[in-house]
Structure 1
Amino acid sequence: MVLYSRTRFDAAFAALSDATRRGVLEQLGRADASITDLADKFHMTLTGMKKHVGVLEQAGLVTTAKVGRVRTCRLGLHRLDEEAAWIERYRQLWDARFDELDKVVEELKRKEKVDGRKKRE
């Protein structure tokens, strides 16, 4: 992985770590919205919402445009494809590990049954 990707990954995952920011992304997935509308929807102050939008904007997940006194937010160009692929690689790794663990557990259960039968005989 290239160094700039790590920085972008860190920014994206940090942005996604907050429930409000994830909610903002969901909202913007339905329609563009002003910071004021977002603040009202999430019952926050304008200052608080501006901070959240700023984090999303730095990660490339949101873009803003100011027209007059209204700053409108929309989903950014960063689509999280690389982050999703990274997560998928680890999901596959863990799935394989859990499959192996399942095999060990089943083998232990089988041996336990066999040993239990031998003791009764």
Structure 2
Amino acid sequence: MTGTIDDELWSAVGDPTRRRIIDLLLADGGGTATTLSERLPVTRQAVAKHLGVLDRAGLAHGTPSGRERRYDIDEAQLARAIAQLTSVGATWDTRLDRIKRISEEIQRRRQA
């Protein structure tokens, strides 16, 4: 696997609203809690909390922009998250393939 699994990172990307926020930040080249809340079915306050989680995980970084903070995705940290997800996916594919082979062998023995 690629390094160790970062639980905070996984927790951050595990929430569907935060994944949608990441998508919007990537598509729009950044945004504020206000601009994002206009496009999501949650309040501005909820978006701000989600952005805080993404910031703590290093996936997004906020910089002051008037009375708000403008958030942008940290592409290096996002690439790290993708590498971890890919690695875990490959590990589970291997495990599931083994379980399938064992199950097929059990089935063959029962039929014989």
Query: Normalising TM by the smaller chain, what interval?
Result: 0.7 to 0.9
The equivalent position to 1:85 in structure 2, one of 73, 83, 86, is 83
Tell me the number of residue pairs that the alignment of Structure 1 and Structure 2 aligns.
109
TM-score for the superposition, normalised by structure 1:
0.70
Q: Which residue of 2 aligns with 1:54?
A: 52
- Stretch moving more, 89-98 or 29-38: 89-98
Instruction: Pick closer, same or farther for the CA change 1:109–1:90 going to 2, 3 Å.
Output: same
SS for the counterpart of 1:44 is coil
Letter paired with 2:65: V
* 1:66–1:79 CA distance, 2 compared to 1 (3 A): same
Matched residues in 2 for 1:95 and 1:65: separation?
40
Q: Is this contact kept in 2: 1:60–1:78, CA < 8 A?
A: no
Q: 12, 15, 20: which one pairs with 1:18?
A: 15
Aligned counterpart, 2:104: 106
For residue 27 of structure 1, what is the amino acid of its counterpart?
Answer: L
Which of the two has higher C-alpha Rg? 1
Moved more, 100-109 or 49-58: 100-109
Deviation at 1:21, TM superposition (A): 1.0
One-letter amino acid of the counterpart of residue 42, structure 2:
M
Superposition CA RMSD, Å:
2.5
Matched AA of 1:13: W
Following superposition, the deviation at residue 52 of structure 1 comes to 1.1
- For 1:27-66, what aligned pairs fall within 5 Å after superposition? 27-31=24-28, 32-66=30-64
Going from structure 1 to structure 2, the CA distance change for 1:78 and 1:59 (only over 3 Å counts) comes to farther
Of all paired residues, the percent bearing the same amino acid is: 28
For residues 106 and 24 of structure 1, the distance between their equivalents in structure 2, rounded to whole angstroms, comes to: 42
